[in-house]
Amino acid sequence: MKSVQLVALGVLIGVVSVLGLGGLSIAGAQQQGPSPAEAQKLLAQEKAVLDQISQQYTQMQRDMNSTTQMQMTPTEKAMMKQIEQLGTMVHMLVESNQNLTDALQMMIGSKNK
């Protein structure tokens, strides 16, 4: 029984040590940040996702505009209004993300000069 406890204690100490060292290396990596090339790549990926979301938002707006031309009950109209409000909030978030991405792109570009 005592040997099982020692093995368990050894495993626990090993796990804690690995987690501690792993946490330190992650903290070090976060302080260093990505290289300019990695940052450019990540920003390009982010811009691609934001462009795709913008296209989907535009298509959703077209679909919603054609849907509002149909006969609807008051409940359906209220639901459409809520969906439109949610869409507006999503659009505002996407625009904000695009502005942040553009600002980061400019910062990275000015640091590379």
pLDDT tens, position by position, 3-50: 444 444 444 454 444 444 444 444 444 456 777 788 888 888 888 888
Domain spans in the chain, listed from the N-terminal domain onward:
1-33, 35-113
The residue ranking higher by pLDDT, 12 or 97, is 97
The angle that helices 36-67 and 74-111 make with each other, rounded to 10 degrees, is: 160
Structure tokens at 7: 């093995």
Tell me how far apart the alpha carbons of residues 100 and 93 are, in angstroms, rounded to a whole number.
10
Q: Distance between CA atoms of 50 and 60, rounded to whole angstroms?
A: 15
The residue among 48, 53, 44 whose CA lies nearest residue 94 is 53
Residue 111, pLDDT score: 72
d(Cα 94, Cα 63) in Å, to the nearest integer? Answer: 19
Distance separating alpha carbons of residues 99 and 93, to the nearest angstrom: 10
